[in-house]
């Protein structure tokens, strides 16, 4: 669904107009798979990590289940990539297609929270309401599918954003990205209003 709208950033008018918030049709239609990703959303996502951790974090990759399920959105402004993110009704909380062991089974919206997944905002569009607009779309769709709560696994730089959007920290974990590299994450949760 293509749409055009003004965003809001935490209750205030945002500094960007999103011309297109759409679901990619194929893996190649996803900005995370585009040829210029080095300076795009993934570059922004790993910029907060040092050296080898940043290089390892780049390996998260795309989860094509999000694209196939129609729950992954790409925001564009004036023809340029602004951000992307999605939600899922599958068990997998993070990680792309390269993780063969991920659990692709569906979850029950009555007993399980929907997953917020794969959020990235291009540095040129940071703090303009792009992430919040995509998150609001994800929350709305998850609620329409009967989910009562949402959960996600935030990178440390994303915690402040998600807290401002009503998510609560649920502890912290370190994941082994490679044999020698651990990266800190924060599980977060939000109850949806019924």
- The domain 5-150 having CATH identifier 3.40.630: the answer here is yes
For the chain, the domains span 5-150
In whole angstroms, what is the distance from residue 66 CA to residue 96 CA? 10
Three-class secondary structure of residue 161 per DSSP: helix
Q: Which helix (H) or strand (E) holds 111?
A: none
- If you write DSSP's letter for every residue of 27-63 in order, what string do you get? GGGSGGGSTTGGGSHHHHHHTTS-HHHHHHHGGG---
Position 97 scores a pLDDT of: 61
Position 34 scores a pLDDT of: 42
In whole angstroms, what is the distance from residue 151 CA to residue 162 CA? 11
Per-residue pLDDT of the chain (194 residues; tens, 9 = 90+): 444 444 444 444 444 555 556 766 555 555 544 433 334 334 444 444 454 444 444 555 677 888 889 999 888 888 888 998 999 999 988 776 666 677 889 999 999 999 999 898 999 988 889 999 999 999 999 999 999 999 999 999 999 999 999 999 999 999 887 788 888 999 999 999 87
Position 21 scores a pLDDT of: 63
């Amino acid at each position: 669904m293509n749409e055009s709208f003004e965003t809001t950033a935490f209750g205030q008018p945002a500094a960007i107009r999103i011309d297109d918030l759409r679901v990619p049709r194929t893996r190649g239609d996803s900005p995370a798979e585009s040829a210029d990703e080095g300076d795009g959303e993934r570059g922004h996502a790993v910029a907060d990590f040092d050296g080898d951790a940043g290089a390892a974090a780049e390996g998260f990759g795309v989860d094509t289940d999000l694209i196939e399920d129609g729950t992954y959105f790409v925001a564009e402004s004036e023809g340029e990539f602004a951000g992307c993110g999605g939600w899922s009704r599958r068990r997998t909380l993070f990680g792309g297609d390269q993780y063969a062991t991920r659990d692709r089974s569906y979850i029950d919206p009555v007993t399980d929270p929907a997953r917020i997944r794969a959020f990235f905002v291009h540095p040129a569009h940071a703090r303009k309401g792009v992430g919040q607009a995509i998150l609001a779309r994800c929350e709305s769709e998850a609620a329409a599918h009967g989910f009562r709560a949402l959960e996600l696994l935030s990178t440390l730089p994303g915690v402040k954003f998600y807290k401002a959007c009503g998510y609560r920290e649920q502890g912290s974990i370190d994941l082994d990205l490679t044999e020698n590299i651990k990266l800190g994450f924060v599980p977060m949760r939000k109850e949806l209003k019924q």
